A and B are shown apart, each in its own frame.
Chain A
Amino acid sequence: MMQLSRLASFGLSALTALVFVLLYGPLLVPIASSFFEIARGDVQWTSPSLSAYVALTRNQGIITAFLNTLIVGFTATFLAVLLGILFAIHYRNGATFGRDLMQFVIFLPFLMPPIMIGLSLLIFFRETDVPRSLLTVIIGHTVFVLALAYRTIVVRLQSLSVSYIEASYDLGASSWQTFFYVVLPNLKSALIGAAILCFALSFDETMISLLVTGTDNTLPIRLWAMMRLGFTPDINALVALILAFTTLMCVLAVRYLLPKDAEGT
Chain B
Amino acid sequence: MLFVGDRQAKGWRIAISVLAYGLPFLFIVAPLLSFLTYSFFWVEGGQMHYDLTWRNYSRFFTDAIFIPVLWQTCLLCLAVAVLAALLGYPVAFRLATLSGRRKYILLMLVLVPLLMSYIIKIYAIRSILGGNGFLNRFLVWANLIDQPLTLFVFNLNAVLLTLTVLLIPFAILPIFLSLERIPKNLIEASTDLGASNWQTFCRVILPLSLPGVVTAASFVFVLAIGDFLTPQMVGGPNGFTFGRIIYSQFGAAFNWPFGAALSVILALVMSVVIALGRRFERQT
Contact = CB atoms under 8 A, between A and B. Distances in A.
B109 A20 contact: yes
Interface stretch (B27-35, B52-60, B64-72, B143-151): B27-35
A5 B226 contact: no
Contacts of B270: 111-113
B203 interface: no
Nearest to B264: A116
A221 B179 CA distance: 37
Interface string A60-96: 0000000000000000000000010011011111110
Contacts of A87: 20
Interface residues of A, number: 99
Interface residues of B, number: 92
A247 B116 CA distance: 10
Interface string A12-31: 11011011101111110110
Nearest to B191: A2
A105 B23 CA distance: 11
A2 B35 CA distance: 50
Contacts, number: 258
Contacts of A50: none
B interface SS class: helix
A232 interface: no
Given A109-B28, A201-B114, 7 more contacts: A2-B187, A23-B113, A90-B16, A105-B25, A115-B263, A124-B30, A220-B118
Interface of B: 1-4, 6, 8-9, 12-13, 16-17, 19-21, 23-25, 27-32, 34-35, 38, 87-88, 90-91, 93-94, 96-97, 99-101, 103-106, 108-121, 123-125, 127-128, 132, 134, 165, 168-169, 179, 184, 187, 191, 197, 200-201, 205, 222, 225-229, 233, 243, 246-247, 250, 256, 259-260, 263, 266-267, 270, 274
6 closest cross-chain pairs (CB), A and B: A113-B226, A124-B31, A120-B31, A15-B90, A26-B124, A120-B35
Interface of A: 1-5, 8-9, 11-13, 15-16, 18-20, 22-27, 29-30, 41-42, 83, 86-87, 89-95, 98, 102, 105-106, 108-109, 111-117, 119-121, 123-124, 127, 139, 142-143, 162, 165, 174-176, 178-179, 183, 196-197, 199-201, 203-207, 211, 219-220, 223-224, 227, 231, 235, 239, 242-243, 246-247, 249-251, 253-254, 257-258, 261-263, 265
